[in-house]
Amino acid sequence: MNVQNAHSAAPQPAAASRMAIADCDIHHSPRDFKMLYPYLEPRWRDHLDQFGMRRRMGNYSGPQYPKSQPDASRRDAWPPGGGRPGSNLDFMRTHHLDANNIELGILTMIRPHPGGFQNVDLSAALCRAINDWQVAEWTQPEPRLKASIVVPYEDAAASVAEIERWAGHRDVVQVLLLSRTVEPLGNRRYWPIYEAAAAAGLPVGIHAFGNGGQPTSSTGWSSFYIEDMVGHAQSCQSLVSSMVLEGIFARVPALRVVLIEAGFGWLPPLAWRLDRNWSRLRAELPHLHRLPSEYIRDHIWLTTQPMEEPEPSAHLRDTIDWIGWDKLLFATDYPHWDYDDPRTAIPLRLSAEEREAFFISNAQALYLRPQGDRPGTPDSVTRTRQKETFMHTTPHGQEMPR
């Protein structure tokens, strides 16, 4: 945030109101990876013990660049008694949900998100286990939290199966992909995922990061962590261009996409450039019947963290006015070091309507559509099916949600 904003004497509207807040990017993780083992078949537990995990990148383990803080997290986010930040639900309740009056929290699992693993069968098995684990151990005991379905996005058929397995479940509110994929996300190999998500009434969240096997830049690996951080926005510009121009929004009108943790100040100039070039090269794209910017306005939402803060701040308002106040979803990125405190997150004076939309109502409208508005099974059938199919027996004879 700007130094001027951090030391402002006047209280910001969010701090003064103590209104309920929706946080659309909360990162949780298992305290120990083997906490996922009860949700895995024995063959995959044996596989992980013998071979480990292989991402689509040169180094086998650890981040490509050193983080600026341990585990990329706030120093005060480490739970008492051990465990990594985001791994203790009770601590998260008091440290974040209660402290900031979070009424709705969207969990986005990125550590690990196995969607891009080299072994696609292992990817599917781990995604299934993570989804079972996060519903059983996070969203069921804490109703303020909702889960994002982690899918093996490099295997479209397996992703569709996982989406359909959770369709209609009240604890899951979006499908989660990462932005750095093997091919641009508008490619047809990913279309079945979008079609399944739209059919289930679920938005597709695309979070920064991922392991597609290529560097963030178009030319090679960068030298510094800061280049990788700034590159998140570059990855998202590429995927927006790909999705719009390949025609997925024209093909699936019900598709809603949320770009998570990539900023948003870059979107208006990208849309202007796409419109200008489309006006001259539209003969190449007969499947597009509208300006690229119109598809962007209708189908894309963005989380607010990290927020670009230009000087003067009026430029920020101009940017948001173009995107639309109804398309921004407040996010803190808890528990990471670049967390945005809701009391100081936006250096603008907001009207009551803008503040309500920014901090909660946009997220409620996107994620909490009435069950009857979602395609899928009726409530009574869903509850019966959940009771029958969301239980299985662990190797130790314990019943666990499936």
Place of tokens 């996070």: 138
Q: What DSSP character marks residue 150?
A: E
Is the pLDDT higher at 378 or at 197? 197
In the prediction, which pLDDT does 396 show? 35
Q: Which two tokens stand for residue 387?
A: 């009771």
CB crowding 265-300: b at 16 or more within 10 Å, else e: bbbbebbeebeeebeeeeeeeeebeebbbebbbebb
Is the pLDDT higher at 337 or at 115? 115
Q: Which two tokens stand for residue 59?
A: 């180094």
Q: What percent of the chain has pLDDT over 70?
A: 84
In the prediction, which pLDDT does 52 show? 87
Q: How many whole angstroms separate alpha carbon 353 and alpha carbon 150?
A: 33
Q: Which domain holds residue 294?
A: 17-401
Minimum mean pLDDT among 15-19, 57-61, 101-105: which range? Answer: 57-61
Residue 2 belongs to a domain: no
Q: How many CB atoms within 10 Å of residue 152?
A: 27
Q: What is the CATH number of the domain that holds 51?
A: 3.20.20.140
Q: Which two tokens stand for residue 75?
A: 């120093």
Residue 258 belongs to a domain: yes
pLDDT, tens digit (0-9, with 9 covering 90-100), for 183-236:
999 999 999 999 999 999 999 999 998 877 787 777 888 888 888 888 888 889
pLDDT, the chain, mean: 85
Report CA-CA distances (Å) from 268 to 83, 142, 245.
Answer: 41, 37, 16
Give the model's confidence band at 29: pLDDT under 50 very low, under 70 low, under 90 confident, else very high. Answer: very high
Residue 10 belongs to a domain: no
In the prediction, which pLDDT does 65 show? 62
Which residues, in sequence order, are CB contacts of 280 under 8 Å at separation 6+?
none
Is the pLDDT higher at 61 or at 201? 201
Which one, of 263, 357, 248, lies nearest residue 295 by Cα? 248
Q: Label the pairing between strands 102-107 and 257-260.
A: unpaired
Q: What is the mean pLDDT of residues 46-58?
A: 83
CB 1 within 8 A of CB 347: yes
Q: What is the mean pLDDT of residues 263-286?
A: 96
Is the pLDDT higher at 353 or at 394? 353
Q: How many whole angstroms separate alpha carbon 39 and alpha carbon 21?
A: 32
Q: Label the pairing between strands 391-393 and 328-329.
A: unpaired
Residue 279 belongs to a domain: yes
Minimum mean pLDDT among 152-166, 285-299, 328-342: which range? Answer: 328-342
Q: How many domains does the chain have?
A: 1
What are the DSSP calls for 173-209, one per residue?
EEEEEES--SS-TTSGGGHHHHHHHHHTT--EEEES-
Q: Which two tokens stand for residue 96?
A: 């974040």
Q: How many whole angstroms separate alpha carbon 67 and alpha carbon 229?
A: 10
Q: How many whole angstroms separate alpha carbon 214 and alpha carbon 220?
A: 8
Which residues, in sequence order, are CB contacts of 386 under 8 Å at separation 6+?
169
Report CA-CA distances (Å) from 246 to 96, 185, 240, 294.
Answer: 40, 9, 10, 15
CB-based burial label for 43 (10 Å; 0-12, 13-18, 19+): exposed
Residue 4 belongs to a domain: no
Q: How many whole angstroms separate alpha carbon 87 and alpha carbon 78?
A: 9
Residue 3 belongs to a domain: no
Residue 11 belongs to a domain: no
In the prediction, which pLDDT does 71 show? 65
Residue 7 belongs to a domain: no
Q: What is the mean pLDDT of residues 337-353?
A: 90
Q: Which two tokens stand for residue 191?
A: 């279309």
